[in-house]
Amino acid sequence: MRQAVHDGLITTGIVGVICTGILLVTEPFLRLIGQPDELIRLAVPFMQAVSGMFLPAIWFMVLRGFVAALERPRSALVLTILAVILNAAVNSVLIFGFWIVPELGVVGAGIGSSIVNLIVLLLFFWYIARDPQFSSYHLSRGWWRSTPQRLIAFLRVGAPISLALGAEIGLFSAGALLMGRLGTVEVAGHQVALQWAALAFMVPMGLGQAATVRVGLATGAGDISGAARAGWIAIIMGMTFMGCAALVFHFAGGHLISVFVRDSAAPVYALALAYLGMAALFQLVDGAQGVANGALRGLKDTAIPMLMTLVGYWLIGFPVAIWFGFYTPLRGIGVWAGLVVGLAVVAVLLLWRFAVMTRRLARKREAVA
């Protein structure tokens, strides 16, 4: 366990430093893909300021995986809630200014997020060192030591998971870039709707992590039927919640949008409401693919799911988004249609993969018996 956490800190640390450097020099890339000057003027300083949160955020995820594997994720939940409260307070001060603190605008949001993520990471390290069960693993001992063999073995499982997550997150980021080519109002509406969709996805993402643990424990104990049962229960729970979220998006979308945009006559309000309606369409499949991915990780099946996500998101979903967004009158709605199609294809593929893998493992178990 200690070596796994150490390898996670080392590998994510290396990648985190590289990604932080990339965030510091994004202006040429934004110009290359044709983003408007007014967006670049806001985006570049913000990304430079927010780059400081990348490494603390990714190390927090490593520690969250550690406590989740020990079936004690509550500490990560408490710290995440604390981070939300701190982020709201610190960002409000830095964005709008208060007393001797000047108004920094979007740059203040980036600085505040970086500060809060660092504070929460240090609190997490402190809590793990003080907790009797967690401290018994002595994570602070020689965390910088590893071997090439260990890191390669770690990356063999972790890299496909990273690419799969990157494919999904990258699709939504690419959607924002496509919106940028349509206009600033489209970007704002997209971001408002995406905030609610991302918030709803936190539940199936958590269920997916629980599925990884439960399926992994059952598989390690040789209980393949238990692994299948744990996976399907989590998948059904995720889809049920997302079905409820879809109903909320459909029937109460105006109230949700008004949290961000109070003027219902504003163009961004109408666009955000329309995009949230599209988000309601993919809630079920988004929940299914999120939890199914977690269940497959419990089987240590990561390479094929990675390929499935790449195909679904980038060979199918992204071209659909470009076609409907720029070659039909749908514009922003067309971009969201591509997101819906990509998520639906990936969900079907991953559900099929989990069913196939559990049946295959059950047959192997029977043959050995």
The verdict on 112 and 10 lying in the same domain is yes
Domain boundary among 146, 167, 195: 146
Residues 172 and 85 in one domain: no
Please, is 204 exposed, middle or buried when counting C-beta atoms within 10 Å of its C-beta (0-12, 13-18, 19+)? buried
Element (H, E) at 81: helix 74-96
Q: Is the residue at 1 inside a domain?
A: yes
Report if residue 151 sits inside a domain: no
State whether 137 and 189 are in the same domain.
Answer: no
Q: Within this chain, do residues 98 and 213 fall inside the same structural domain, yes or no? A: no
Pair 216, 356 in one domain:
yes
Which residue, of 146, 171, 203, is where some domain finishes? 146
- Does residue 20 lie within any of the structural domains? yes
The Cα 239–Cα 231 span in angstroms is 12
Answer with the one of 113, 146, 179 that is the final residue of a domain: 146
Q: Render the burial of 234-246: b for 16+ CB within 10 Å, e for the rest.
A: bbebbbebbeebb
Instruction: Please report which helix (H) or strand (E) contains residue 362, including its range.
Output: helix 332-368
- Token pair of 282, please? 């993919």
Instruction: Please give the angle made by the CA atoms of 180, 274 and 282, to the nearest 5 degrees.
Output: 90
Report the chain's mean pLDDT, rounded to a whole number. Answer: 86
Domain match, 141 and 164 both: no
Residue 119 has pLDDT above 70, yes or no: yes
Q: Could you tell me if 221 and 170 lie in one domain?
A: yes
**Number of domains present in the structure of the chain:** 2
| Residue 333 dihedral angles phi and psi, to the nearest 5° | -60, -35
Kindly tell me the sign of the dihedral angle through the C-alpha atoms of 303, 309, 314, 319. positive
Residue 152 lies in a domain: no
* pLDDT score of 123: 92
326 found inside a domain? yes
Burial label for 328, CB within 10 Å (0-12, 13-18, 19+), is exposed
99 C-beta neighbours (distance < 10 Å), count: 5
Using one digit for the tens of pLDDT, what is the confidence trace for 312-340? 999 999 999 999 988 888 888 899 999 89
In the structure encoding, which two tokens stand for residue 231, read together? 């996976």
Residues 225 and 132 in one domain: no
Residues 21-73 pLDDT 10s: 888 888 788 787 777 777 788 788 888 888 888 889 899 988 888 888 787 87
166/139 same-domain check: no
Integer Cα distance of 234 and 213 in angstroms? 11
Closest CA to 137 of 70, 76, 74, 209: 70
Q: What is the DSSP string of 310-346?
A: HIIIIIIIHHHHHHHHHSSTTTHHHHHHHHHHHHHHH
- Expressed as residue numbers, the domain containing 98 is 1-146
Looking at the structure, tell me whether residues 173 and 305 fall in a common domain.
yes
pLDDT of residue 369: 61
Q: Are residues 278 and 345 in the same domain?
A: yes
Whether residue 141 has pLDDT greater than 80: no
| Residue 362 structure tokens | 């059950």
Lowest mean pLDDT among 91-105, 209-223, 257-271: 91-105
Q: Are 137 and 8 contained in the same domain?
A: yes
Q: What is residue 102's DSSP assignment?
A: P
User: CA dist 299 to 66, 214, 239, Å?
Assistant: 18, 10, 21
For residues 260 and 268, what is the distance between their CA atoms, to the nearest angstrom? 10
Q: Which residue has the tokens 């089987």?
A: 299
- Residue 262 is classified by DSSP as -
The residue length of the chain stands at 369
pLDDT in tens, 186-233: 888 888 888 899 889 989 988 998 899 899 889 888 888 899 999 999
Q: Is residue 327 part of a domain?
A: yes
